[in-house]
Amino acid sequence: MYLQVDGMHCATCEAFLESVARDRAGVVDATASYVTETVHVEYDPARLSADAIADALSTLGYTARRRDADDDAATAVGYSRTRETGGRGIDELLGFRYVVGVIFGTFMLLPYVVLFYPAQLSGLFGDGALGRVAGASGIGGGSGLLMLPLFLVLTGVVLVFTGLPLLRGAYVSLKMRQPNTDLLVALTVVSAFVYSTVALLLGRIDVYYDLTIVVAAGVVAAIFYESLSKQRAMDRLTDLTISRVAETRRYDADGTTTTVAVEELEPGDRVLVREGERIPVDGVLAEDGCTVDEAVVTGESLPVSKRAGDEVVGGAVVTSGAAVLAVSDDPSSSIDRLITSVWNSQSGDHGVQRQADRVAARVIPAVAGAAVLAGGWSLLTGAGVPLAALTTLAVVLVGCPWALGLATPLSVATSIEDAVGRGVVVFDETVFERLRNVDVVVFDKTGTLTTGRMEVVEADVPADLLGTVAALERRASHPAAAAIVSAFARQDDAAPSADGGVDRPTDEQADRVTAFTSHATGVEGVVGGTRVLAGTLDLFAQLEWAVGDDVEARAIEARDAGRLPVVVGRDGRAEGVVVVGDEPRAGWADTLAALRERGIEVVVLTGDDEAATEFLDAHPAVDHVFAGVPPAGKTATIRRLQSRGQVTMVGDGTNDAPAIATADLGISLGSGTALASDAADISIVDDDLGAVGTTFDLAEAARRRVRQNNALALLYNGVTIPLAVAGLLNPVFAMGAVVTSGGLLAANSFRDLLDE
């Protein structure tokens, strides 16, 4: 069972939710991935229900629900990248927490600055009695003293409500013994709050309530901004759908058809699929012949002719004729199996622990040790328990690099925003880190290196026949027919007519089609009193139309080159060939060459035969071409390539999704299906193959941004630690360090990523 769990954002979340699931009686195993916000649970239904598992994982602010129950099963993959209410609800709650922090913070900080900052500075530079209410500040016994209890209450509200995500993250990290940046921030704000409260009880005014508010609200604001950035990236792909069928027509015993849910089909049932519709399940063609487009499943760019007894796959589209198929012994769709394959790969794809979390794991024990030693030394020197407690808390306050918790979400959010602005949608903050370690980039051919659209590339046909054939093809639904109509309706130089132009089809000519027959491999009809035939060599032979040696040779040559030859003729004789093919994308060679210059191995993987890949195999930037590979074979090939190093898969189709999910990093083009986009770590919104190279540039720039921000995050400690050692630590200086460090982080983060 797959569960979507909102609220996962780091490797610590994965470990925690896995432990929660495994602690339930009846659970065999659990694997979580914050990259996809998915938990895969294997359990015994006799001992435990799915709802009980979801309830168990809905704890500490996490929200779990059945992934396969999300959205409309017929139109979408239920998954965080296309989620609606779940993700946006979390964003709204984060926003509300941030607003509360800002409102309370603003309410407090104005009088705080006016009343306490002067007193704290006066105490520091006056008679040395730092922080005493009776000092030279002038607020002793006045409104400032009376307001301190109010500051205590309001700061507590901000800490508990606004800072709850931080406190939860800190708790989870302690429970799992995996210190992270949430723990760094939580230690800072809690120690500042406790220090201030103890100081208040001792009659001191060196309180750090302002630091608690500003840090908690600022970090939550950065997390909120990061969440919004990811949501905006998701929204770029909201129009994507998946090739999945919910209902179909089943033949009943009396010969009539009944619309039923696909789930109700049983082995042996007969199903009717009309022209232009998608086949719901795998089966065997029982009657007639038809042409199907299996590209969504197999990756083949050309439609395939099917006859009675041939196997057909669920997810393919009937492009010509109608299909009556017998449901196979396993009444499921190849699409469904592809989805399961993708989900399996995703749920096992653990996120990468962020660099800042690794720093936190090393720093926190050192800070804790220093705090304990300082507090113990204070006790030994007779300072007393209250002052020893203040000393311990002060060490935590100045020693914790809390700003790493601000640097990470700012770095992530601005990098995501910058990438989206360039048409590169990134969903996972670890993508850039993984991209920098890629050794092999694998490209799908159809729809990725090529346009994925059928286009006329050559027409050796008498000019006066072109418009007639296009008029006939207007009544067909085959992709090649659409290409012929489109080409000769817009190209002024496709072929000369008697008057030097193109004999293009018009609505009037289309109306002159007085007879029309759709064959599995072509079309036949009467246009303006002339019988016209367009199709394969086999169709011409079947109907006993004469084909000259020159026409046959051109057709065979085109077919051997991986293109589709459409032989056309009239009145019983072939007169020429229109060659239709799937053309390479603009700039494909430059993209591959640029990757090779980076020292990356380039591999092409396709379901097409070898003839269609000769131009790729001959290119110097391509190291290997694997042709005739089905979806399962693509996944297996990716696994073999992973023995050489980190592998990235670039694809666009549903059939590419399992391979994209299996690869160490997946990239999908904007023309791809929803399943391919869901499986990918990066989605290129436009069909710009050059954006693949841009992602590598962004990855290098993002690394520089992270390093710069992490260095700036330590500025706070670089200021407060020397002040503490010199005995000059003061709330005003500490807040100055907070504002300076945070301001520089923000300024650096919002610079253009590729202008660095």
pLDDT, tens digit, 9 for 90 and up, residues 384-417: 888 899 999 999 999 999 999 899 888 888 888 8
Indicate whether 380 and 443 sit together in one domain: no
| CB-CB neighbours of 377 under 10 Å | 12
**Structure-model confidence comparison of residues 584 and 107, the more confident one:** 584
Residue 239 has pLDDT above 50, yes or no: no
Structural domain includes residue 241: no
| Of 38, 400, 410, 358, nearest in space to 173 by CA | 358
Indicate whether 535 and 484 sit together in one domain: yes
> What is the reported pLDDT for 241?
38
CATH of residue 663's domain is 3.40.50.1000
> What is the reported pLDDT for 491?
39
Full residue range of the structural domain in which residue 727 is found: 88-236+350-414+704-755
**Structure-model confidence comparison of residues 720 and 77, the more confident one:** 720
CB 472 within 8 A of CB 513: yes
Structural domain includes residue 691: no
Final residue of a domain: which of 623, 647, 680? 680
Indicate whether 578 and 636 sit together in one domain: no
- CB within 8 A of 518, min separation 6: which ones? 275, 320, 321, 475, 476
Structural domain includes residue 690: no
Spot the catalytic one: 206, 444, 608, 664.
444
pLDDT, tens digit, 9 for 90 and up, residues 591-601: 999 999 999 99
Indicate whether 101 and 149 sit together in one domain: yes
As a residue count, the chain comes to 756
Question: Which of 268-277, 572-581, 607-616 is predicted least confidently?
Answer: 607-616
Q: Strands 682-684 and 665-669: what pairing?
A: parallel
Structural domain includes residue 719: yes
Task: Label residue 340 by pLDDT band (50, 70, 90).
Answer: low
Structural domain includes residue 658: yes
Structural domain includes residue 83: no
Structural domain includes residue 383: yes
Name the 3-class secondary structure at 705: helix
> What is the reported pLDDT for 630?
77
How far apart are alpha carbons 268 and 260 in whole angstroms?
Answer: 15
CATH of residue 285's domain is 2.70.150.10
Final residue of a domain: which of 534, 556, 583? 583
How far apart are alpha carbons 263 and 252 in whole angstroms?
Answer: 16
Indicate whether 224 and 96 sit together in one domain: yes
Task: Label residue 532 by pLDDT band (50, 70, 90).
Answer: very high
Indicate whether 667 and 719 sit together in one domain: no
Q: Strands 438-444 and 601-605: what pairing?
A: parallel
**Structure-model confidence comparison of residues 292 and 502, the more confident one:** 292
Final residue of a domain: which of 583, 603, 623? 583
**Structure-model confidence comparison of residues 9 and 455, the more confident one:** 455
Indicate whether 641 and 543 sit together in one domain: no
Indicate whether 230 and 294 sit together in one domain: no
DSSP assignment of 444-486 equals EIIIIIEEEEEEEEEEES-HHHHHHHHHHHTT---HHHHHHHH
**Structure-model confidence comparison of residues 446 and 741, the more confident one:** 741
Indicate whether 11 and 32 sit together in one domain: yes
pLDDT, tens digit, 9 for 90 and up, residues 138-165: 444 445 556 778 888 888 888 888 888 8
Task: Label residue 653 by pLDDT band (50, 70, 90).
Answer: low
Task: Label residue 243 by pLDDT band (50, 70, 90).
Answer: very low
> What is the reported pLDDT for 756?
59
CATH of residue 475's domain is 3.40.1110.10
Indicate whether 227 and 357 sit together in one domain: yes
> What is the reported pLDDT for 73?
35
| CB-CB neighbours of 511 under 10 Å | 11
Residue 537 has pLDDT above 80, yes or no: yes
pLDDT, tens digit, 9 for 90 and up, residues 549-583: 999 999 998 887 778 899 999 999 999 999 988 77
Extended beta strands in 601-643, E state = 601-605, 624-626
Is 571 in the active site?
no
- Domains of the chain: total: 5
Indicate whether 635 and 709 sit together in one domain: no
> What is the reported pLDDT for 84?
35
Residue 132 has pLDDT above 50, yes or no: no
Indicate whether 181 and 209 sit together in one domain: yes
Residue 449 has pLDDT above 70, yes or no: yes
> What is the reported pLDDT for 91?
52
CA dihedral 241, 244, 246, 247 (to 10 degrees): 120
Structural domain includes residue 694: no
Counting residues of the chain whose pLDDT is more than 90, the rounded percentage is 20
CATH of residue 7's domain is 3.30.70.100
Residue 70 has pLDDT above 60, yes or no: no
247-256 contacts, C-beta under 8 A, 24 or more apart = 247/74, 247/280, 248/272, 248/273, 248/280, 248/281, 249/273, 251/324
